[in-house]
Amino acid sequence: MHVLFAEPAFPRTQRDHVRALHAVGARVTGIGESPVEALDSELKSWLYAYEQVPSVTHEPSLYEAVRAVQQREWVDRLEATIEAHMMPVAHVRERCEIPGLTAKTTFLCRDKPAMKQVLREAGVPCAASTGATSAEEVREFVEREGYPIVLKPTNAAGAAGTYRVDNDEELEAAIQATGVDRGAHTAVEEFIEGHEGFYDTLCLDGEVVHDFACHYFPNVLEAMRTRWISPQILCTNRIDLPEYDEVKELGKRVIDVLEIGTSATHMEWFFGPKGLKFSEIGCRPPGVGVWKLYGDANDADVFVEWAKLIVHGGTDLKLSRKYSAGMIALRPEADGRIAGYDGLDEIRRRFGENIIHMHMPPPGSGTQPVSGGYHANAWMTLRHPDYDALRAIMDTIGETVKVRVR
């Protein structure tokens, strides 16, 4: 099979998709923005061919590159895994008559208000929401639904650029910050109280082949704005218990309604006083290395499993569910330069067998803003056969390790 893959070099996690496609026997032609000379030898060894474009998100350039490849030989698939690449790739895919996600499905997975409107009409429980391109539309939504609300520009990724608003003063500040008063398309929705988690899948022709459930501690908006918190993401190995049936059923309904075929998916959900509520879904992998976390939890290479579905149309691997696995971000006490770490030796001594990986920027490194996310500064990944034990270990790490700054 000949697979075209959008932007194989950046961000660095993209190379794992290329590696996996090559490993399962695909011929992979990369389409990227860097000159081929800038690619490292390992990445080039996985590529069958390469086309350079000024920008992967510039549809005319992307179309010309794909057509140039098609004129040379047959193309079976055109794949993208980065949110910003999804829509231009879908348009080019359809113009070039290559199988894969449709532009309609991709649009609904990108435009949150349109997504939720379609899902509400299908009976999927969602927060009240709308799309806005003016301050007045936002204010009208508040008059209709009340506070609290959430504003998120359509082109924002993850929690970036997302604002919770509880009063009129915060509303006006968020309107300015999002640019909606200047015409920036922004999703506006009811804030849902409750615990936040996500449900990820690998799907083949709309059927879930592999799935994973994770929990945020605390919820993302709080985690991205509160320095003293060491936020956690925990992947449970209890997903096959009845307690997760409702989440799995919700995910399958969303996949069916949005007509998601063979793809990775990443779905956010809330559970609270109003029950289980759908938040949003993307036809792509989750960020911050979560697929590697899933692999460590399940004795699997999730990138290879994805590639098997793309290239071979199936897999015979059964996930082990042997471990729960988690990631904890360790924030510096202030912005500046890292002076050192308190409590790290104790954590290594007590939990060394559970630690999969540690990223501890060396003393002298500049810090990154807390809003930069789970990988902005120091972080660890861990695993344990028991979910509750793992959560207790991660709580201990958050209480013990201090990132000192000078």
pLDDT digits 0-9 by tens, 28-39:
999 999 999 999
Is the dihedral angle over the CA atoms 141, 142, 144, 147 positive or is it negative? Answer: positive
Strand 2-6: give its sheet, edge to edge: 49-52, 27-32, 2-6, 77-79
Quick: pLDDT tens for 354-392.
999 999 999 999 999 998 899 999 999 999 999 999 999
Percent pLDDT > 90 in the chain is 90
Quick: pLDDT tens for 59-68.
999 999 999 9
Is the dihedral angle over the CA atoms 165, 327, 303, 20 positive or is it negative? Answer: positive
- Confidence at residue 159, expressed as pLDDT on a 0 to 100 scale: 59
CA atoms within 13 A on the CB side of 18: 28
Give 160's pLDDT tier (boundaries 50, 70, 90): low
Residue pointed to by tokens 């793809």: 263
Contacts of 180 (CB under 8 A, 6+ apart): 132, 133, 134, 135, 137, 138, 151, 153, 186
Contact 159, 373 (CB under 8 A): yes
Superfamily of domain 195-405: ATP-grasp fold, B domain (3.30.470.20)
397: three-class secondary structure by DSSP? helix
Residue 275 C-alpha from the chain's centroid: 24
Mean pLDDT for all residues in the chain: 95
Per-residue pLDDT for 182 more than 60? yes
Residue pointed to by tokens 């009340």: 146
Contact 51, 68 (CB under 8 A): yes
Q: Each residue of 1-32: b (16+ CB within 10 Å) or e?
A: bbbbbbbbbeeebbbbbbbbbbebebbbbbbb
Quick: pLDDT tens for 260-303.
999 999 999 999 988 999 999 999 999 999 999 999 999 999 99
Rounded Cα distance, 402 and 358, in Å? 14
Q: Choose the CATH number for 2-100 among 3.40.190.10, 3.30.70.980, 3.40.50.20, 3.40.50.150.
A: 3.40.50.20
Quick: pLDDT tens for 102-145.
999 999 999 888 999 999 999 999 988 888 999 999 999 999 99
Rounded Cα distance, 405 and 367, in Å? 8
| Residues found in the chain | 406
Per-residue pLDDT for 157 more than 70? no
User: What amino acid occupies position 57?
Assistant: T
Is the dihedral angle over the CA atoms 101, 107, 112, 116 positive or is it negative? Answer: negative
391: three-class secondary structure by DSSP? helix
Domain ranges of the chain: 2-100, 128-190, 195-405
Q: Are strands 27-32 and 195-204 parallel, antiparallel or unpaired?
A: unpaired
Phi, then psi, of 307 in degrees rounded to 5: -65, -35
Per-residue pLDDT for 343 more than 60? yes
Going by C-alpha positions, the residue among 265, 259, 278 that lies closest to residue 129 is 278
Give 158's pLDDT tier (boundaries 50, 70, 90): low
Query: Out of 145-154, 195-204, 230-239, 332-341, which region has the weakest mean confidence (pLDDT)?
Result: 145-154
Rounded Cα distance, 31 and 36, in Å? 10
Residue pointed to by tokens 């290239």: 311
State pTM to two decimals: 0.91
User: What amino acid occupies position 401?
Assistant: V
Contact 24, 307 (CB under 8 A): yes
Count the helices and strands in the chain (H runs, E runs). 14, 18
Fold classification of 128-190 is Dna Ligase; domain 1 (3.30.1490)
